[in-house]
């Protein structure tokens, strides 16, 4: 209930797309950086980070098929801080493991509750490069699955494409291992990284998430042609496609025309607290597409 109130209080209008409207950006931080790092560490230790959920919808029916878990942090002093800031910070200062553990715990527990309530849902979670390379990561994930009586098939791991180039063969090995355990792999932010097409072909991935930036360029001919080419590339490689950053019905319709099956974006919903996500599931909400 508390979640709910906060959501409505902050969500004041169409342009307020990131409803944590007082986001703190890197530039603005300056020497406050160190202080923020230490508050982040405290927040993680005290389990004060939250997980929000954004729906991924079926492009034809508008039905919610799964949700992406996204970490959120409301700092007492600075307000909502963007994950674009605190995720890299957590990586840099060695807190990403703990942060990830928190996100996994919260989202798996939620998925279990949703399953028990008959709200069948699949979950997508973001995995950092440093986690991928942790030898105990697969074991840790599997333990958490068991603890919550979930199957690896219920969870998709999103790996950003920019990770792709360095330590390539090592990464491949870890991804295969996760894939062999049953987890589906999605390449996140596709089109913004540096992976070559031959690498993409070799990746043990099942899903391609096309980056927000491509969706925001569909008002130009070039932008539309680019999107079309990427979608076709994904299909040629036999991948399932999710387009991120769908902000308008017009965009959704254009993507439908390209044969895209899954979409995610503010047109459908921003990332919301679990209580709000649960409400749509209970109501069986379907977006207009
Ligand atoms: P991402 O995984 O690519 O997540 C999608 C981002 O796009 C989210 O930003 C989401 O709020 C935003 N977005 C969704 N729909 C739209 C739209 O229609 N238009 C626009 N312009 N943006 C949209 P968010 O939540 O700020 O997260 C930023 C990044 O932080 C994520 O990008 C992900 O890479 C990282 N991140 C978030 N949570 C976690 C986590 O638990 N673990 C790890 N390792 N990384 C995380
Ligand atoms: Mg993601
Ligand atoms: Mg993305
Ligand atoms: Mg991203």
pLDDT digits (tens, 9 = 90+) for 52-72: 999 999 999 999 999 999 999
Q: Which ligand is nearest to the CA of 186?
A: 2
Ligand 1 atom nearest residue 189's Cα:
3
Nearest residue CA, atom 4 of ligand 1? 70
Lowest mean pLDDT among 13-17, 31-35, 130-134, 277-281: 13-17
pLDDT digits (tens, 9 = 90+) for 202-246: 889 999 999 999 999 999 999 999 999 999 999 999 999 999 999
State the pLDDT at residue 20: 39
CA-only gyration radius of the chain, Å: 19
Q: State the ipTM, two decimals.
A: 0.98
128 lines ligand 1 (CB under 6 A): yes
Counted residue by residue, the chain has a size of: 289
Q: Is the CB of 265 under 6 A from ligand 1?
A: yes
Q: Ligand 1: which of 244, 250, 287 to mutate, judged by most atoms within 8 Å of the beta carbon? A: 244
DSSP 160-217: EGGGSSTTHHHHHHHHHHHHHTT-EEEEEEETSS---HHHHHHS--SEEEE-HHHHTT
How confident is the prediction for the chain on average, in pLDDT?
88
Q: Report pLDDT digits (tens) over 20-43.
A: 334 555 555 566 788 899 999 999
Note residues around ion ligand 4 (Cβ under 5 angstroms): 189
Task: Give the DSSP letter of residue 70.
Answer: E
What per-residue confidence (pLDDT) applies to 32? Answer: 74
CA distance 205 to 184: 7
């Amino acid at each position: 209930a508390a979640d709910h109130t906060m959501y409505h209080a902050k969500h004041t209008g169409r342009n307020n797309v990131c409803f944590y409207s007082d986001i703190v950006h890197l530039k603005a931080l300056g020497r406050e950086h160190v202080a923020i790092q230490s508050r982040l560490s405290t927040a993680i230790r005290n389990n004060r980070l939250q997980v929000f959920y954004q729906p991924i919808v079926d492009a034809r029916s508008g039905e919610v098929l799964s949700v992406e878990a996204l970490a959120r942090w409301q700092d007492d002093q600075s307000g909502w801080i963007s994950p674009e800031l605190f995720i890299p910070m957590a990586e840099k200062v060695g807190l990403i493991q703990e942060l990830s553990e928190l996100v996994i715990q919260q989202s798996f527990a939620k998925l279990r509750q949703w399953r028990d309530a008959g709200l069948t849902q699949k979950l997508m979670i973001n995995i950092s490069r440093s986690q991928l390379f942790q030898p105990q990561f697969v074991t840790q994930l599997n333990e958490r699955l068991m603890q919550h009586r979930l199957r690896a098939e219920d969870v998709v791991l999103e790996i950003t494409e920019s990770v792709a180039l360095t330590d390539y063969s090592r990464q491949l090995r870890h991804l295969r291992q996760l894939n062999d355990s049953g987890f589906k792999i999605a390449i996140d932010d596709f089109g913004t990284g540096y992976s070559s097409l031959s690498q993409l072909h070799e990746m043990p991935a099942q899903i391609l998430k096309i980056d927000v930036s491509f969706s925001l360029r569909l008002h130009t001919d070039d932008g539309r042609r680019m999107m079309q080419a990427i979608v076709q590339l994904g299909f040629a490689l036999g991948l399932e496609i999710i387009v991120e950053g769908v902000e308008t019905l017009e965009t959704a319709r254009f993507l439908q025309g390209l044969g895209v099956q899954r979409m995610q974006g503010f047109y459908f919903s921003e990332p919301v607290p679990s209580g709000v996500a649960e409400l749509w599931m209970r109501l069986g909400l379907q977006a207009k597409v």
